Amino acid sequence: IPGIRYSALTPNVQGINRVLSLGNKGADEIAIFSAASESFSKTNINCSIETSLQRFSEVTQISSQNNLPVRGYVSCVIGCPYEGKIKPSQVIPVVQKLLDMGCYEISLGDTIGVGTPKSIKELLQAIQSSGISINKLAIHCHDTYGQAIANIAQALDMGIRCVDSSVAGLGGCPYAKGASGNVATEDVLYLLEGLGYETGVDLNRLIDVGQFITNVLKRENMSKVARAILCKRQDDTKTTAKNSTTK
């Protein structure tokens, strides 16, 4: 659909070359994933942060030659499943390097969802104080501890204008199997609309997509907004049916 950017993750040179080889059946932008935690980097992609950034700079050299925009992700910006609390001073250099490589935006990931508005605020303040502009940043909160919506509200307060989310809250937490992972797009949209922001997204259509995919996956819909609105739709249907039979 014209105007929509379809993106794909490319962790290495092989990946980006494959994307480029697909021409207009490739991707409109690519993404690279680093981490603020050494332990997480080593456990997740088997190399240090430094090595992963070198690997990614090879990718971004190719992408810039081909005018393919790159988005950078940094995992574990608040806490790490192995190291515990992560300091902003661990996050800032990684963000800076990804920006220097040419990423148009860095998505800050609270990978294990341990952030609360205070730690989110401290992180964003520290990043801004280091000279990085807030409009280069996006927020990627996980809802493992139910704090995502509050954290996103805090990030918006500080000028963040891009939020990552997953319809129906798809994607559990791999570090606490059975626990929540991604925040639900429907719930984010409800927050944004309540706060007076424009998004261009239709909540009802989004809910329908969420239902489609959760039915396919035979899993529960993690979005509270979706559940509430689907309940109301059922109530409305019953009322309409009742009214037609009593006419």
Choose one: 34-42, 87-95, 100-108, 113-121; the region binding another protein (CB under 8 A): 113-121
Whole-angstrom Cα distance, residue 34 to residue 140?
13
Active-site entry in 76, 80, 103, 173: 173
Active site residue 173: yes
Q: Is 129 in the site for another protein (CB under 8 A)?
A: no
Residues in CB range of 104: below 8 A, 6 or more apart: 29, 69, 70, 71, 136
**Strand partners of residue 79:** 85
Which residues share a beta bridge with 70? 30
Q: How many helices (H) and strands (E) does the chain have?
A: 9, 7
Footprint on residues 171-210 left by another protein (CB under 8 A): 173, 176-180, 184, 187, 190-191, 194-196
One-character DSSP codes across 142-190: B-TTS-HHHHHHHHHHTT---B--BGGG----TTSTTS--BPBHHHHHH
At its nearest, how many Å lie between another protein and the CB of residue 119?
A: 7
Pairwise CA distance, residues 115 & 157, whole Å: 16
> Least distance in Å: CB of 59 to another protein?
33
Site string for another protein, 35-64 (x = CB under 8 A): ------------------------------
Does residue 144 touch another protein according to CB under 8 A? Answer: yes
Whose structure tokens read 């994607």? 171
Minimum separation from the CB atom of position 46 to another protein (A): 22
In the complex with another protein, the residue whose CB is nearer, 20 or 176, is 176
Q: Nearest distance from residue 222's CB to another protein, in Å? A: 9
Based on the shown chain and the rule CB under 8 A, indicate whether residue 18 belongs to the binding site for another protein.
no
Pick the piece of the chain touching another protein (CB under 8 A) from 1-9, 46-54, 65-73, 108-116: 108-116
What is the Cα–Cα distance from 175 to 78, expressed in whole angstroms? Answer: 15
H or E element, residue 59: helix 49-65
Shortest reach from residue 227's CB to another protein, in Å = 5
- Each residue 209-238 as x (binds another protein by CB under 8 A) or -, in order, gives --------------xxx-xx-xxx-xx---
Listed in sequence order, the residues at least 6 apart from 169 whose beta carbon sits closer than 8 Å to its beta carbon are 143, 180, 181, 182, 183, 184, 187, 221, 222, 223
Contact residues for another protein, defined by CB under 8 A: 113-119, 143-147, 149-150, 152-154, 173, 176-180, 184, 187, 190-191, 194-196, 223-225, 227-228, 230-232, 234-235
| Catalytic residue positions, numbered | 173
